[in-house]
Amino acid sequence: MQPNIQTLGQLKASGYQPKSIKEELRDNLVEILRQRKKVFEGIIGFDDTVLPDIERAVLSRHNILLLGLRGQAKTRIARLLVHLLDEYIPVVAGSELNDDPLHPISRRAKDIIAEHGDDTPVEWLHRDQRYVEKLATPDVSVADLIGDVDPIKAATLKLPYSDERVIHFGLVPHSHRSIFVINELPDLQARIQVSLFNILQEGDIQIRGFKLRLPLDIQFVFTANPEDYTNRGSIITPLKDRIESQILTHYPKTIEIARKITRQEALLAADQKAHITVPDLLEILLERIAFTARESELVDSKSGVSARLSISAYENLVSTAERRMLINKEQKATARITDFWGVVPAITGKVELVYEGEQEGPYQVAMHLLGTALKEMFLAHFPNPDKLKKGRDTDPFGVVRAWFSGSNSIDLLIDAPDKDYRKALDGVAGLRKLVEKELAVTGDEAYPFMELALHGLAEFNVVNKDMVEAGVSFRDLLAGMLNDTDFDEDEY
């Protein structure tokens, strides 16, 4: 609740003492840690790595550089630091720079206090108003960050340019007693980075010849991508030397952590949550695509594969199942592996390709990543068809092979009603028994694994898989090869 103090005199009588923002952050963090509360709500996977480093930096009253690839929650972490601030702080009403009534730094605040004394009006600034964020771009100027002489102010106030009151302050001075975040720091031109030197160390700023001693009180947080050091610029050494703590972020280390992040961040409509089911198998497959992309030779590893790939893909997966449900006038729907063809647009826009990947094309790379992930998922649940042990009593895939060898085929259409989808899978001889024997899965839970078995066998060239306009067709491998070699006699 905002304190009921409205004047400087009342503030003095209350026993209020000025405190720097770094001390404020530190004191509040100490209290939270003593109470064993969670400091950074909603940040998953950094509990043993990044977050302890940030807590140590805050306790040390350091400015912070978060260094990591895109999609590693750097900006979100910076924004959450606001919760370590006091809920309200007093400021001189009408001051330019959030001046502390007991420790003003701007000419305007000092003049107001000199005029009104203990009757100086006091306002209360909420912590949400004490966060300033700037995306570094090559066109950012010193005037944007630090300030410049304002000729309109000079004319309005009838002041000469030699009077410091003609100065228009930039974002940094206006962030006094606040958290100031600069995203993608290397994108700032070197001369702009130079302007931050003294602010970080001594609090001096210089604007058009004005040498001002402003003891700015700012918690700086910078973010940067390691790739920026070679592609778009660099953090100049003297500035980097003044940023006391450099903290490395990373992608989720396990599939399970990645699943938690995706479920938390995916923006699903209430109807989608109520009517669409995504089996665990498909959630794992989706995350495995992202893990595969980060290791793929076709994807630029230096650019990284953002967690937003999985989040966008999950939203598309749910929407694909929802669209099918609406078209078929069904009440509920369960996502299928064939629905991943509706996920491809979320993959192609989230990966930066190397030369070989560009030659293949974004769509083919996305299909390659999906195929690789399917193969890995298949091997996690079924024996490797290429490495079946000699002397094994039976080939676990024998009945399925024989069914396809008998000129049988199966079409799994993306928009097929649920009953048609299940009927098609049940029609493959030996497929359900394969899943029940190898995985001990029965009933409706078997269908995702039955479909996985078909896709996996196709990846191992046991059966042939063709992409058709509205889905996937599986048939005998030999029949597929013969069809591929067919030709129109009229062409010769």
What's 58's domain CATH number?
3.40.50.300
**Last-in-domain residue among 248, 272, 305:** 248
- Does the pLDDT value for residue 449 go beyond 90? yes
In this prediction, residues 78-101 reach a mean pLDDT of: 94
Within 10 Å of residue 123's Cβ, how many Cβ atoms? Answer: 17
Q: What residues pair up with 169 in beta bridges, in sequence order?
A: 147
Reported as a single tens digit per residue, the pLDDT across 95-144 is 989 999 999 988 889 999 999 999 999 999 999 999 999 998 888 888 88
**Mean pLDDT (the chain, rounded):** 89
CATH code of the domain containing 353: 1.10.8
55 and 178 part of one domain: yes
In a domain, residue 3? The reply is no
Has residue 2 been placed in a domain?
no
* Averaged pLDDT, 141-164: 74
Domain ends where: 364, 381, 398? 381
Is 258 found in the same domain as 237?
Answer: no
Q: Determine the Cα–Cα distance for residues 212 and 105; give it in Å rounded to an integer.
A: 10
Same domain, 244 and 257: no
Q: Looking at residue 483, what is its pLDDT? A: 54
Residue 255 pLDDT grade (very low, low, confident, very high; cuts 50, 70, 90): very high
> Which pLDDT score, from 0 to 100, does residue 231 have?
47
Q: What is the reported pLDDT for 478? A: 75
Residue 230: the pLDDT is 45
Q: With the C-alpha atoms ordered 106, 181, 234, 65, is the resulting torsion angle positive or negative? A: positive
- CA distances 339 to 137, 159, 209, 282, Å, are 39, 69, 63, 10
How many domains does the chain contain in total? 3
What whole-number distance in Å separates Cα of residue 92 and Cα of residue 99?
6
Tokens matching residue 401: 């092979």
Examine the domain organization and report whether 147 and 235 are in the same domain: yes
Question: Are 203 and 333 within one domain?
Answer: no
State the first-to-last Cα distance of the chain, in angstroms, to the nearest integer: 86
162 has a pLDDT exceeding 80: no
- Residues 371 and 235 reside in one and the same domain: no
* Tens of pLDDT, residues 183-230: 999 888 888 888 888 777 766 666 666 666 778 899 999 999 876 554
**Range(s) of the domain holding residue 430:** 388-492
Residue 290 confidence (pLDDT) above 50: yes
Residue 1 lies in a domain: no
Lowest-confidence pick of 65-69, 138-142, 152-156, 340-344: 152-156
* Residue 484 burial (C-beta neighbours within 10 Å; 0-12, 13-18, 19+): exposed
% of the chain exceeding 90 in pLDDT: 69
End residue of a domain, out of 354, 381, 408: 381
213: three-class secondary structure by DSSP? strand
